[in-house]
């Protein structure tokens, strides 16, 4: 009688799968990979757009009357595979377009459509879902907006430029959302109380900023009005403890060189790419600067954090100047930014039954107020 075969050796117990939060937070993402050339600007340098060129007289009167400017901000919205989360976020944001404190526009942090930025995808993932959101939508592009499908003959960012960087006074088809006239894929939005510098961080994982864009950024920081709230917006995050992408400390170093050369750092940094919400505080030159990841705008797959995250506020020995103040990776959501003459408040809401539910709040203090 044959004996039974011995059981296979037991595998070591796997307590964790995937990277730790510490590993992800300290990633550098060396600048490798193909980066398509940027499209030509559609407006004059230094690529500024004033809010008065975007909003109508009624909206501008409301801002003057209430003494505050309110806008939405989030990224990674494209309803690829499953459009339900995207439409729930849009419905929740639309509830804030009316009332005594109306939101006047949406600043998108990139990855508007998936998986590639072809014009044909915009109908299903942008024009149709946002029919219930009539306020203007401004944007910086994400990596998926600039990626090309295999065999595509379109230029990188061609559809993004058509919608968001249309030449001034070029009419839009009547059946579609009006095109915006951002002067370039990296550009600056101006208002009396706040300036938003928008960067295009490219296609490579972790993001990449070319020398020309870095020189432009240095100039924008140097010449930005000292009394306004200054926000830097781009798709790829500098700091992130998410399980999928993580930080890019090489991007941090490139930006820090611009801050030092200009003699000014932004008052907040907004990004997306990781499909969740994370808020960090960074101590830079004696100031507390919020670095925020808000990529929970509706792409169906949310990204959890790496394992080993302590209770917030969480500190990490390898980055002693950075603290993780808050995070939310189990629900979709968006930011509402309220700007006034002396600073700004940001409210992050998750979406519950197509309505906003408060989740986190923080202040942005201009350097001039410190």
pTM > 0.85: yes or no? yes
CATH classification of the domain holding 206: 3.60.21.10
Two structure tokens written together for 288: 């507390």
Give the per-residue pLDDT at 12: 44
Beta bridge partners of 229: 194
DSSP summary character for residue 2: P
How far apart (Å, rounded) are the C-alpha atoms in residues 180 and 200?
Answer: 17
CA dihedral 109, 291, 45, 195 (to 10 degrees): 100
Q: Contacts for 2-8 with beta carbons within 8 Å, 24 or more apart?
A: none
Nearest residue to 236 via CA among 226, 244, 225, 228: 244
Residue 13 in domain: no
The residue assigned the tokens 């209430």 is: 66
3-class secondary structure, 174: coil
Beta bridge partners of 288: 283
How far apart (Å, rounded) are the C-alpha atoms in residues 125 and 323?
Answer: 35
Residue 6 in domain: no
Residue 166 in domain: yes
Residue 10 in domain: no
Residue 11 in domain: no
Which pairing describes strands 333-340 and 343-352: parallel, antiparallel, or unpaired?
Answer: antiparallel
Total count of domains within the chain: 1
Residue 8 in domain: no
Residue 139 in domain: yes
Give the per-residue pLDDT at 172: 72
370 residues of the chain, pLDDT tens digit each: 334 445 444 444 444 568 999 999 999 998 766 778 999 999 999 999 999 999 999 899 889 989 999 999 999 999 999 999 999 999 999 999 999 899 999 999 999 999 999 999 999 999 999 999 999 999 999 999 999 888 787 778 999 999 999 998 777 776 689 999 999 999 999 999 999 999 999 999 999 999 999 999 999 999 999 999 999 999 999 999 999 999 999 999 999 999 999 999 999 999 999 999 999 999 999 999 999 999 999 999 999 999 998 899 999 999 999 999 999 999 999 999 999 999 999 999 999 999 999 999 999 999 887 7
**β strands within 35-174, DSSP E:** 48-50, 69-74, 105-108, 137-139
Residue 16 in domain: no
Nearest residue to 205 via CA among 258, 154, 144, 140: 144
Where in the sequence is the domain holding 93, given as residue range(s)?
21-369
């Amino acid at each position: 009688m044959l004996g039974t075969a011995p059981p296979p050796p037991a595998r070591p117990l796997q307590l964790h799968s995937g990277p730790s939060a510490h590993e992800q937070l300290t990633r550098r993402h060396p600048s490798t990979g193909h980066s398509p050339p940027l499209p030509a600007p559609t407006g004059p340098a230094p690529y500024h757009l004033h809010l008065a060129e975007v909003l109508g007289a009624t909206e501008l009167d409301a801002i003057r009357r209430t003494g505050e400017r309110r806008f939405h901000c989030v990224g990674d919205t494209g309803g690829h595979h499953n459009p339900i989360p995207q439409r729930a976020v849009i419905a929740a944001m639309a509830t804030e377009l009316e009332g005594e404190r109306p939101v006047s526009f949406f600043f998108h942090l990139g990855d508007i459509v998936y998986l590639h930025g072809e014009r044909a995808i915009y109908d299903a993932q942008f024009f149709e879902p946002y029919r219930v959101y009539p306020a203007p939508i401004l944007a910086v592009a994400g990596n998926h907006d600039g990626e090309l499908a295999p065999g595509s003959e379109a230029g990188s960012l061609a559809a993004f430029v058509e919608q968001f960087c249309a030449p001034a006074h070029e009419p839009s088809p009547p059946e579609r959302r009006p095109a915006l006239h951002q002067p370039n894929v990296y550009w600056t939005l101006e208002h009396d109380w706040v300036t938003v510098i928008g960067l295009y961080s490219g296609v490579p994982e972790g993001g990449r900023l070319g020398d020309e864009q870095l020189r432009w950024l240095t100039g924008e920081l140097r010449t930005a009005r000292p009394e306004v709230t200054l926000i830097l917006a781009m798709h790829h995050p500098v700091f992130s403890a998410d399980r999928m992408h993580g930080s890019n400390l090489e991007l941090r170093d490139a930006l820090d060189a611009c801050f030092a050369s200009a003699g000014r750092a932004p008052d907040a940094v907004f990004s997306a790419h990781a499909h969740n919400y994370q808020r960090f505080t960074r101590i830079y030159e004696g100031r507390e600067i919020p670095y925020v990841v808000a990529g929970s705008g509706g792409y169906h797959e949310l990204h959890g954090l790496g394992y080993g995250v302590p209770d917030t506020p969480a500190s990490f020995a390898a980055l002693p100047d950075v603290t993780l103040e808050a995070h939310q990776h189990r629900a979709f959501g968006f930011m509402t930014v309220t700007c006034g003459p002396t600073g700004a408040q940001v409210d992050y809401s998750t979406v519950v039954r197509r309505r906003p539910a408060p989740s986190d709040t923080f202040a942005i203090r201009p350097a001039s107020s410190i």
